Amino acid sequence: MRTGAAREEVEDVVTKAKSLGLDVQLNIGTDKTVVAILGSNTGQISTDLFAVLPGVESVTRIMKPYKLASREFQQRDTLVDCGGVKIGGERIVVIAGPCAVESEKQLTQAAEGVKKAGAAILRGGAFKPRTSPFSFQGLQKKGLELLAGIRERFGMPVVTEVVNPQDVKLVSSYADMLQIGSRNMQNFALLTAAGKSGHPVVLKRGFSCTITEWLTAADYLLAEGKNKVVLCERGIRTFEDSIRFSLDISAVPVVKKNSHLPVIVDPSHAAGHYSLVPAIAKAAVAAGADGLLIEVHPNPKEALVDGLQSLSLSDFTRLMEELRTIARSVGRYI
């Protein structure tokens, strides 16, 4: 309450809390009265309900707004199964492949190369969210078919992005795991549709969303009760201009502390430049990430999308060897 708040103002707050079935305790300090509002669901109640009342200076939330994604809701780590590959366990799962599916030849070369180098899951975009309407928008259904063919041929599970609620069913029929991109992290219509699919989902962090907002978005997926979520840190927007997005390495320990969900790191979209990918990938493994999502292209110079951030197959193979050594040094394997 504001310094000098009237007794009736304090009582209005108390009445409001009680009307919502909450308990209240008053702390009458030297300068200010603090009203503590207690209850098991206070994290999901809007603070505005109290902040609008006269005499209230500010409302501070002690409970987190997310629930299903929280470590308090579930103590043990969640293991997510993607076509037989477990994410969240001792193995560090590397997901690799081209940004966009461009052709059968390109996808075959990529899949063959990343599998040989030790990647567990293939990635490739069929529906591409592009910032400009004049850019290549992906092969769409044709891309999904190519991905499905490659999955059969190489026996690798496949993850691909979905950008429109209407496409969730279609994409789910081809892919082992759905990806929700950074710009769609708070596209709640899409989250709800993806949640209903029952498929595992890689939820990329919005590039300007806090970790709390990210876990709250995961609640949308978990609220449907059927599916599992892998969180993916991919860099946040800051003032620094030497890199496309600043990878928030602390997201790894912070998520581990507050959530039971596995967390992986995408060094490629953060870096925006292939030369910075290896250092970030190594840091992620050392920091405790459960996996990596790396863009690899058989011929980066000819890539239709994001060639600059893609590793060549030989660079990826070299990086995988370094990552294996670091994984061992933190008691894990790739």
- Nearest-angstrom CA–CA distance, 10 and 221: 38
DSSP string over 171-205: HHHH-SEEEE-GGGTT-HHHHHHHHHH---EEEEP
Nearer to a copy of itself, 100 or 156 (CB): 100
Smallest separation, CB 115 to a copy of itself (Å): 24
- Nearest-angstrom CA–CA distance, 39 and 259: 21
Q: How many CA atoms does the CB half-sphere of 287 hold within 13 Å?
A: 24
Smallest separation, CB 321 to a copy of itself (Å): 11
Q: What angle do CA 87, 93, 97 make, to 5 degrees?
A: 120
Nearer to a copy of itself, 170 or 287 (CB): 287
- Nearest-angstrom CA–CA distance, 81 and 332: 18
- Nearest-angstrom CA–CA distance, 296 and 312: 6
Nearer to a copy of itself, 44 or 78 (CB): 44
- Nearest-angstrom CA–CA distance, 273 and 269: 8
Smallest separation, CB 2 to a copy of itself (Å): 9
Nearer to a copy of itself, 57 or 104 (CB): 57
Please give the span between the terminal C-alpha atoms of the chain, in angstroms, as a whole number.
54
Q: Assign 101 to helix, strand or coil.
A: coil
Smallest separation, CB 173 to a copy of itself (Å): 19
Smallest separation, CB 263 to a copy of itself (Å): 11
Nearer to a copy of itself, 38 or 79 (CB): 38
Nearer to a copy of itself, 175 or 263 (CB): 263
Maximal C-alpha separation, the chain: 75
Do 102 and 148 touch, CB atoms closer than 8 A? no
Smallest separation, CB 37 to a copy of itself (Å): 9
Nearer to a copy of itself, 173 or 250 (CB): 250
Which residues contact residue 77 at a Cβ distance below 8 angstroms, ignoring those fewer than 6 apart?
A: 88, 89, 260, 262
- Nearest-angstrom CA–CA distance, 11 and 252: 43
The enclosing H or E element of 181 equals none
Smallest separation, CB 154 to a copy of itself (Å): 26
Q: Assign 313 to helix, strand or coil.
A: helix
Nearer to a copy of itself, 151 or 228 (CB): 228
Name residue 33's beta-bridge partners.
Answer: 28
Smallest separation, CB 221 to a copy of itself (Å): 9
